[in-house]
Amino acid sequence: NAGVTQTPKFQVLKTGQSMTLQCAQDMNHEYMSWYRQDPGMGLRLIHYSVGAGITDQGEVPNGYNVSRSTTEDFPLRLLLAAPSQTSVYFCASSTDRGPGHEQFFGPGTRLTVL
């Protein structure tokens, strides 16, 4: 049971490039989400999904796309990378988005956009 896995661990992009951050979980969790972590700002929700085929925007969705074709995978796409997207990205999953449910986090991807 690997939990939540993310690849890559580190990535450097140039402004305008695109890339996909991968996230997978093997716990059969319905709810998955992407956060970005910036100094002094905590974690902010980018996008989330309550099940395969269903996604929705979080607090800071601009510049990011997601899809959820399977229960296991929830990739995050940066369409045209900008320096403001330099951050640490965490994927998380949970059995439900309802009250009291713990979210399990992946190890994170540290992204630098030059």
Partner 1 sequence: AQSVSQHNHHVILSEAASLELGCNYSYGGTVNLFWYVQYPGQHLQLLLKYFSGDPLVKGIKGFEAEFIKSKFSFNLRKPSVQWSDTAEYFCAVNGAYEKLTFGTGTRLTIIP
Q: Which residues bind partner 1 (CB under 8 A)?
A: 4, 33, 35, 40-45, 48, 58, 90, 92, 97-100, 102-103, 105-108
At 31, which helix (H) or strand (E)?
Answer: strand 31-38
Please, what is the minimum distance in Å from the beta carbon of residue 27 to partner 1? 14
In angstroms, what CA-CA distances link 106 with 16, 56, 73, 93, 113?
A: 26, 20, 12, 9, 21
Q: With 0-12 CB in 10 A as exposed, 13-18 as middle and 19+ as buried, what is 4?
A: buried
Please, what is the minimum distance in Å from the beta carbon of residue 28 to partner 1? 19
Closest CA to 90 of 2, 4, 1, 3: 4
Please, what is the minimum distance in Å from the beta carbon of residue 25 to partner 1? 13
Among residues 5 and 17, whose Cβ is nearest to partner 1?
A: 5
Please, what is the minimum distance in Å from the beta carbon of residue 14 to partner 1? 26
Among residues 8 and 107, whose Cβ is nearest to partner 1?
A: 107
Among residues 73 and 105, whose Cβ is nearest to partner 1?
A: 105
Among residues 14 and 102, whose Cβ is nearest to partner 1?
A: 102
Q: Are 46 and 76 in contact (CB under 8 A)?
A: yes
